[in-house]
Amino acid sequence: MDGLDILKKSWNKDDPNQRKLSAKDIYPMLHKKSSSIAKTLFYISIAELVFWIIVSFIPYICSDNYKERLDKIYDSEHLFTVMTILSFGITILFIYLLFRSYKAISVTDSAKKLMENIINTRKVIKYYVLYNLIVFGFSLFFGFYYALHNDPETVKNIANFGPTEMTIMYLILFGFSALLILLFWLFYKLIYGLLLKRLNRNYKELEKIDD
């Protein structure tokens, strides 16, 4: 049992003086824990951005065949690059907002303000995860669409498909996309969800102090 758990036990006692003392001691601990969680969320988002940059650009830069095939699929020399830069630009904006949330929590000097900053942090993460899921889903959709219509090899392979074969193919693509999106969501649920639960617990404890 850590110091915060001990103080929370004291908080539940009937002695008003003890409750007052506990509140003064609990707040710095909640503040420190909330700041640490926000900092971890920020670092994870940075690591995720670096990872996707590597995944997106290394094959494109290192393989001329890969680059040539993408240019054919997207029917434009710069379309893929513009889409990637735009996506990363929005991601960087979310990371900046998360950094602001972390700094705001770090310098907070009141329980009420800390609660507001925790709510803002939760909102940033919620929209960040939602944005990534939407982008991932649309990327799969447009990737499959352009591949089926613009990739010479794919167009050649499905040229003789009848209605039944096309229906089966679309069902397979839909199921595969749904599975990938589900796995993507579970990844965010595991990584960000656990930290947000801890942040939410801190928020509930602060509500008791603020009463």
Q: Is the pLDDT of residue 198 over 70?
A: yes
Give the tokens for residue 190. Answer: 């595991």
99 pLDDT tier (thresholds 50, 70, 90): very high
Q: What's the residue count for the chain?
A: 211
CB atoms within 10 A of CB 80: 18
Spatial contact of 37 and 198, defined as CB atoms under 8 Å apart = yes
Share of the chain above pLDDT 90, in %: 5
139 pLDDT tier (thresholds 50, 70, 90): confident
5 pLDDT tier (thresholds 50, 70, 90): low
Number of domains in the chain: 1
Spatial contact of 161 and 169, defined as CB atoms under 8 Å apart = yes
Please name the helix (run of DSSP H) or strand (run of DSSP E) that holds residue 185, with its range, or none: helix 163-210
6 pLDDT tier (thresholds 50, 70, 90): very low
9 pLDDT tier (thresholds 50, 70, 90): low
Give the tokens for residue 174. Answer: 């839909």
By CB atoms closer than 10 A (0-12, 13-18, 19+), residue 89 is exposed
pLDDT given at position 7: 46
By CB atoms closer than 10 A (0-12, 13-18, 19+), residue 77 is exposed
Give the tokens for residue 61. Answer: 């830069």
| Torsion region of 49: left, alpha or beta (phi above 0 gives left; psi -120 to 50 gives alpha) | alpha
Spatial contact of 41 and 102, defined as CB atoms under 8 Å apart = yes
Contacts of 18 (CB under 8 A, 6+ apart): 10
What CA–CA distance (Å, rounded) separates 209 from 12?
11
pTM greater than the 0.85 cutoff: no
What CA–CA distance (Å, rounded) separates 77 from 159?
26
156 pLDDT tier (thresholds 50, 70, 90): confident
Would you call 114 helix, strand, or coil by DSSP?
Answer: helix
Q: Is the pLDDT of residue 150 over 80?
A: no
Q: Give the residue numbers spanning the domain of 191.
A: 3-210
pLDDT in tens, 20-77: 545 566 777 888 888 899 999 999 989 888 887 787 766 556 656 656 666 555 555 5
CA nearest to 129, candidates 83, 174, 193: 193
pLDDT given at position 96: 92
pLDDT given at position 179: 92
